[in-house]
Chain A
Amino acid sequence: MEHAEGQQHPIGIYLKIWGWLFVLSTASYLVDYFDVEGYLRWSLILLFMVLKAGLIVSIFMHMFWERLALVYAILVPPLLVLVFVGIAWFEADYTFLTRVTFFREGIWGM
């Protein structure tokens, strides 16, 4: 029985994930090394970040094998942070606009 005592899986799967994390980290480092700019840079960074996070949570932290009651209890609440990100970005963008409009660029750096 799988859950007779905790999470038991073949060692090989951890080594494989370890390898993939190295590959993905190298890939995200190369984005910086080759000075990829603009939307391509941001989407690549986010893609590699999400893939790495997914591998760590699902395999290293065993979420892939847990019951859904636990998985949803832990993974759904952080999704609400994305709403917060949206609100904060909208507000920060507005702050930037007012600063540019009323104080002119550069004055904060003086």
Chain B
Amino acid sequence: MAQPALTATGDSATRPEGWQGIAADWSSDQRAFKNVPWGKAMIWIFLLSDTFIFSIFLLSYMTVRTSTTVPWPDPSEIFALSIGGERLPLILIAIMTFILISSSGTMAMAVNFGYRHNRSKTAVLLLLTAVLGATFVGMQAFEWTKLIVDDGVRPWGNPFGAAQFGSTFFMITGFHGTHVTIGVIFLIVIARKVWRGDFDNNRRGFFTSRKSHYEAVEIMGLYWHFVDLVWVFIFALFYLW
């Protein structure tokens, strides 16, 4: 172990050739990210690519909103709700924001208790995160229904103003909602693994056949916080702007 990588070692004959050689060479002991497990480095690289996807969605939204000569619909009015006889602007989105932030809080604590090998607390916090995430998706379904059925918003037009409002809204929030939904499913899977003690008993995953450790909870957490992070940008740039 820990041999420094040397050039011209002359051992190429002993290494695999072809495609197997490529895989073997790239998976050898050259490590850039010294003290993080490979899974964590990989989820970060995945999140980086996801960042670009959401960036491009928000960029195209900026482009169409800047270039249209038709007034942009006012999200403050469209997403207002009457609660107790008082009309509150954007209140639904504000509540959704607080729910998602709270789920990030419970997730961060789940990661923490995971590394302390506190199985029951970790599993409960993961499930709580999943419940909050599912609530968020439920409220989003309500929001979409109201917009489509009551207000008649479509990707190609709406009664409030610029037609691009509908297309960018459904694209951006739909893609984000998909991320939340996938996150909720994975949260339940990881919670089950924690509850059963897979990370303490070295039980192999049903899909990967690999042993896993409590870093899996942190990797789950990174994905979940990213979903919250994307919402911060959507909330500011789409709903508040």
Residues of chain A whose beta carbon lies under 8 Å from any beta carbon of chain B? 3, 5-9, 11, 14-15, 17-18, 21-22, 25, 28-29, 31-33, 35, 41-42, 45-46, 48-49, 52-53, 56-57, 59-62, 66-67, 69-70, 73-74, 77-78, 81, 84-85, 88-89, 91-93, 95-96, 99-100, 103, 105-109
Contacts and interface: CB of A to CB of B under 8 A. Distances in A.
A55 B97 CA distance: 15
Contact of A84 (B55, B108, B109, B112): B55
B229 A66 contact: no
B69 A11 contact: no
Contacts of A11: 109, 112
A18 B32 contact: no
B105 A46 contact: no
Given A56-B232, A77-B48, A22 B98 contact: yes
A15 B142 CA distance: 30
Interface residues of B, number: 61
A25 B63 contact: no
Report whether over half of chain B's contact residues are helix, strand or loop; otherwise say mixed. helix
A28 B47 CA distance: 25
A63 B45 CA distance: 14
Contact of B109 (A14, A32, A57, A105): A14
A3 B36 CA distance: 9
Contacts of A91: 63
A6 B117 CA distance: 12
Contacts, number: 164
Contacts of A77: 48, 52
Report whether over half of chain A's contact residues are helix, strand or loop; otherwise say mixed. helix
Contacts of A74: 44-45, 47-48
Contact of B240 (A6, A32, A85, A106): A32
A32 B76 contact: yes
B235 A109 contact: no
6 contacts: A8-B112, A45-B236, A48-B236, A61-B226, A92-B62, A99-B69
Contacts of A88: 59, 62-63
Contacts of B59: 81, 84-85, 88
A12 to B, nearest CB: 10
A105 B94 CA distance: 34
B233 interface: yes
A106 B70 contact: yes
A89 B66 contact: yes
A99 B67 contact: yes
A92 B90 contact: no
B103 to A, nearest CB: 10
